[in-house]
Amino acid sequence: MSREKVLSLLREQGDRYVSGEAMSRALGISRAAVWKAIEALRQEGYTIQSAPNRGYRLESGPDRVREGELSGPLAGCRVGSHLLCLETVDSTNTEAKRQAMAGAPDGLVILSEEQTGGRGRRGRAFQSPKGKGLYLTALLRPKLAPEPVTDFTAWVAVAVCDGIEAACGVRPQIKWTNDLVLGGKKLCGILTELGLEGESHTLDYLITGIGINVNHAPEDFKEEVRPIATSLAQALGRPVRRTQLAAEIIRALDQMYARFPQGKAEYLKKYRAGCLTTGKPVQVITPSSREEAFAVEIDDDFRLVVEYPDGRRTALSAGEVSVRGMYGYV
């Protein structure tokens, strides 16, 4: 923990030196503990300069998603007020459920360098190679009935678009309801799950998992998904620092959570503007059928209104169906 605190303090100083004595006072640890933390960080690949009578200065470091990199940028945020940063996990959503059952607080964000069992909607696997993507889940405990959170995934999609735009200067589009798309290919998946009180059936927790392809090369994707998947690095032509992206995503989630559900008009407007599904022929897929339709609009409850060839119109809810483009992924 001293290592993360020292790293966070060095990050906060930017290009300025900070003395070991000042760090010792600020963090409430001994000078020896500061020195040990500095040496441990150096062994992990951080370049930390030292100068007599000036102290230490952080020059560069590996792109690892960890508390020491994020706690400073997230100061004052409700979402991200508690962080759990892991090297590996089966699924950040599954870990969030375990943490929720153990009494973890509202605003906990779980991040992992890799997932061995990442998953999306309907149990689909989500590839999560180590050090390539951003895999995070926010655990929230809003004081709401279950019904108002049925459209929460759509709000999250807008927030993640906001965060990616702030970090990278590009804004993905949204494939209804939970995929983000860049250049016609899948960039990000979102999976929201609820936990209900056993007897009262009131909302106990809400978890939203986000998996973003960040620095994947084409060969990092399995052959079957390679034609429909992309990463930020591929789209931008350069690597993206995942810690900066994580900070912007979490800040955007925090802003969104503070406005939920009263700020619906703002997020609905952004969702409609970013949704690439509307105005296109689609396939409406259920466990028992696959029908052709035309995606007309997003209604006031974030449902997709489709029109079938016989003139019928239906508002689809995300939990009921999947929607695919007639001629490919989108």
Same domain, 116 and 144: yes
Q: What is the pLDDT of residues 261-300, one digit of tens each?
A: 999 999 999 999 999 999 999 999 888 889 999 999 999 9
For residue 295, being part of any structural domain is answered with yes
- The secondary structure element, H or E, covering residue 162 is helix 152-168
Taking CA 305 as the corner, what is the angle to CA 303 and CA 311, rounded to the nearest 5 degrees? 155
For residue 314, being part of any structural domain is answered with yes
Q: What are phi and psi of 60, to 5 degrees?
A: -160, 170
**pLDDT number for residue 326:** 64
Contact 203, 142 (CB under 8 A): yes
**pLDDT number for residue 126:** 67
**pLDDT number for residue 328:** 74
Contact 278, 295 (CB under 8 A): yes
User: Whole-angstrom Cα distance, residue 306 to residue 281?
Assistant: 9
Residue whose pair of structure tokens reads 């003395």 in the numeric block: 19
Contact 21, 85 (CB under 8 A): no
Same domain, 48 and 81: no
Same domain, 178 and 200: yes
Domain end position, chosen among 255, 274, 293? 274
CATH number at residue 83: 3.30.930.10
Same domain, 146 and 251: yes
**pLDDT number for residue 67:** 95
- The separation between the first and the last C-alpha atoms of the chain, rounded to the nearest angstrom, is 45
For residue 22, being part of any structural domain is answered with yes
Same domain, 191 and 298: no
Same domain, 152 and 245: yes
Same domain, 108 and 257: yes
Residue whose pair of structure tokens reads 């996990």 in the numeric block: 89
Same domain, 96 and 220: yes
Same domain, 136 and 259: yes
Same domain, 202 and 310: no
**pLDDT number for residue 51:** 94
The total of structural domains in the chain comes to: 3
For 225-252, b where at least 16 C-beta lie within 10 A, e where not — what string? Answer: eeeebbbbbbbeeeebebbbbbbbbbbb
Contact 70, 52 (CB under 8 A): no
Same domain, 234 and 254: yes
**pLDDT number for residue 329:** 77
Same domain, 179 and 40: no
Residues of the chain with pLDDT under 50: none
CATH number at residue 302: 2.30.30.100
Q: Could you tell me the CA-to-CA distances from 156 to 36, 246, 289 in Å, in that order? A: 40, 14, 29
Structure-token pair, residue 45: 């690949």
Range of the domain at 313: 281-325
Residue whose pair of structure tokens reads 């990000």 in the numeric block: 188
For residue 330, being part of any structural domain is answered with no
For residue 239, being part of any structural domain is answered with yes
Domain end position, chosen among 44, 60, 76? 60
